[in-house]
């Protein structure tokens, strides 16, 4: 009985323990949480500071200063084309030398060129074009007297100065304050040669001239110079500028048996005249203005040129150190021998450059340039000293030259 009671009690205890365990299970030891250090959340990669834009100063595009436009009108074709070539060579050489040194106030000189063919009608239209369309502030206009006379009023109206190589006296007597001559007037050439020839004892004269303003102006000046010496030409003959055969005129001249034949025309025409006169038996003295003192005249006249006398401010490249130096630069640039027409064009370009420089940088216009040209005095050019008066004349001194052994040679006073 006791044993059974014991077994019952044990069973009851077991059941109680079971019941208690079910109601309050033993706490399982907590598994140690693995300490996994979470990698810190990746911070967004720090943006690299933008490279500070290097402060590179943007180079402003180089803007070239506007060129200074200078017009040119002359004979670039036709019988007088050589005048245009000589003229532009002299001018361009001067411009290139100035431009090589930075120009004027940083602006380059630019020549705007037109061929007027020595035609006054064409010259008038081209003068208008240079001024109203091209906008030139000055011009070289023109190489010949007839077209120059036609354009003088146009340049005066627009107040644009122009420099001419034409030597007709009337050019500067039109009342324009805008015309300038880059050499002496015709009367200076003719008075100088006539006075010199008269001083040699010659008394009888004949004149042959072309029908242009230049030719007739020179013939008039020759007659006036003879009259001042108490003499007169026994005959005066005229021919057209394009003529090449002068037999008719020379036959009349030789019939008068003059001691001196004065020619008033271009170097080519006078070269042909003197050559044909010699061929017809003329044995006297041939003389005239600067057109008889060029290499072209000698080339055309050949042996007939020997002994010819001429007047010119620029006799030859050997006149002095200034002319020798310029002639060397001219030949280096143009691969040709320098001569008087190129020299006078260079002088004209240099006095124009002086006037523009005086107006620069803020007043480069026709009125100022003309005023400054009138102020040029004492400038020693290739031809001699320039001193412009109110009419635009700048030279009054001339020299005498001759053709000796086929070369242009100064006659010593």
Query: Tens of pLDDT along 29-43?
Result: 343 343 334 444 444
Position 12 scores a pLDDT of 41
Q: Examine domains 68-184+318-396 and 187-312 and report if their fold is the same.
A: yes
- Please identify which residue in the block is written with the tokens 């030891």: 29
Answer whether residue 51 shows pLDDT above 70.
Answer: no
Of all residues in the chain, what percent carry a pLDDT higher than 70?
85
Task: Write down the pLDDT at residue 57.
Answer: 61
Are the CB atoms for 86 and 74 separated by under 8 Å?
A: no
Yes or no: say if 147 and 114 are a contact pair by the CB < 8 Å rule: no
Query: 64: pLDDT confidence band, cut at 50, 70 and 90?
Result: confident
Tokens of 344: 């006078």
What separation in angstroms does the CA of 133 have from each of 69, 125, 129, 136? 11, 11, 5, 8
Better pLDDT: 23 or 342: 342
Alpha-carbon distance of 312 to 290, in angstroms, equals 5
Q: Give the three-class secondary structure for 215.
A: helix
For residue range 122-157, what is the model confidence (pLDDT) as tens digits? 999 999 999 999 999 999 999 999 999 999 999 999
In degrees rounded to 5, what are phi and psi of residue 244?
Answer: -125, -10
Domain boundaries, the chain: 68-184+318-396, 187-312
Weakest mean pLDDT among 16-30, 179-193, 362-376: 16-30
The CATH number of 187-312, from 3.40.50.2300, 3.20.20.70, 3.60.21.10, 3.40.50.300, is: 3.40.50.2300
Q: What is the CATH architecture of 68-184+318-396? A: 3-Layer(aba) Sandwich (3.40)
Lowest mean pLDDT among 46-50, 111-115, 223-227, 306-310: 46-50
Count Cβ atoms below 10 Å from residue 259 Cβ, excluding itself: 16
pLDDT value of residue 56: 55
pLDDT averaged over the chain?
89
* pLDDT, position 129: 98
pLDDT at 163 over 60: yes
Q: Quick check: 267 and 291 in contact, CB under 8 A?
A: yes
- CA gyration radius, the chain: 47
Neighbouring residues of 69: CB distance < 8 A, sequence distance ≥ 6:
110, 112, 134, 135, 136, 137
Q: What percent of the chain has pLDDT over 90?
A: 83
Residue 241: its pLDDT value, please? 84
Q: Label residue 242 by pLDDT band (50, 70, 90).
A: confident
Q: Which pLDDT score, from 0 to 100, does residue 107 have?
A: 98
pLDDT given for residue 10 in this prediction: 40
Which tens digits make up the pLDDT trace of 165-188?
999 999 999 999 999 999 999 999
pLDDT in tens, 151-161: 999 999 999 99
The reported pTM is 0.82
Q: Which residue has the higher pLDDT, 46 or 107?
A: 107
pLDDT, tens digit, for every residue of 247-290? 999 999 999 999 999 999 999 999 999 999 999 999 999 999 99
Mean pLDDT value of segment 87-103 = 98
């Amino acid at each position: 009985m006791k044993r059974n009671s014991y077994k019952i009690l044990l069973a009851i205890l077991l059941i109680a323990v079971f019941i208690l365990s079910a109601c309050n299970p033993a706490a399982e030891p907590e598994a140690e949480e693995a300490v996994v250090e979470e990698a810190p959340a990746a911070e967004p990669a720090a943006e690299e500071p933008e490279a500070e834009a290097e402060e590179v100063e943007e180079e402003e595009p180089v803007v070239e200063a506007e060129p200074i436009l200078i017009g040119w009108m002359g004979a670039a074709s036709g019988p007088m084309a050589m005048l245009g070539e000589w003229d532009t060579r002299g001018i361009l050489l001067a411009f290139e030398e100035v431009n090589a040194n930075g120009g004027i106030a940083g602006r380059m000189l630019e020549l705007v060129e037109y061929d007027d063919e020595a035609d006054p009608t064409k010259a008038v239209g081209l003068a208008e074009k240079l001024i109203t369309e091209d906008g030139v502030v000055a011009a070289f206009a023109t190489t010949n007297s007839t077209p120059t006379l036609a354009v003088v009023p146009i340049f005066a109206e627009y107040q644009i100065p122009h420099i001419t190589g034409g030597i007709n006296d009337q050019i500067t007597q039109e009342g324009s304050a805008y015309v300038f001559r880059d050499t002496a007037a015709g009367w200076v050439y003719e008075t100088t040669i006539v006075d010199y020839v008269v001083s040699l004892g010659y008394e009888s004269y004949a004149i042959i001239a072309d029908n242009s303003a230049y030719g007739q102006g020179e013939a008039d000046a020759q007659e006036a110079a003879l009259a001042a010496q108490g003499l007169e030409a026994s005959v005066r003959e005229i021919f057209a500028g394009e003529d090449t055969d002068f037999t008719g005129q020379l036959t009349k001249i030789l019939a008068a048996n003059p001691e001196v034949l004065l020619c008033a025309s271009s170097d080519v025409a006078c070269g042909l005249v003197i050559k044909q006169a010699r061929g017809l038996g003329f044995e006297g003295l041939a003389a005239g203005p600067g057109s008889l003192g060029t290499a072209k005249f000698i080339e055309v006249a050949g042996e007939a040129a020997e002994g010819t006398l001429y007047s010119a401010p620029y006799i030859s490249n050997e006149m002095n150190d200034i002319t020798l130096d310029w002639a060397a630069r001219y030949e280096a640039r143009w691969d040709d021998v320098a001569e008087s027409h190129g020299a006078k064009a260079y002088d004209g370009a240099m006095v124009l450059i002086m006037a523009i420089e005086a107006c620069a940088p803020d007043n480069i216009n026709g009125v100022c340039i003309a005023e400054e040209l009138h102020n040029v005095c004492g400038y020693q050019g290739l031809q001699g000293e320039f001193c412009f008066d109110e009419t635009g004349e700048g030279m009054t001194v001339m020299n005498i030259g001759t053709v000796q052994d086929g070369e242009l040679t100064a006659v010593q006073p």
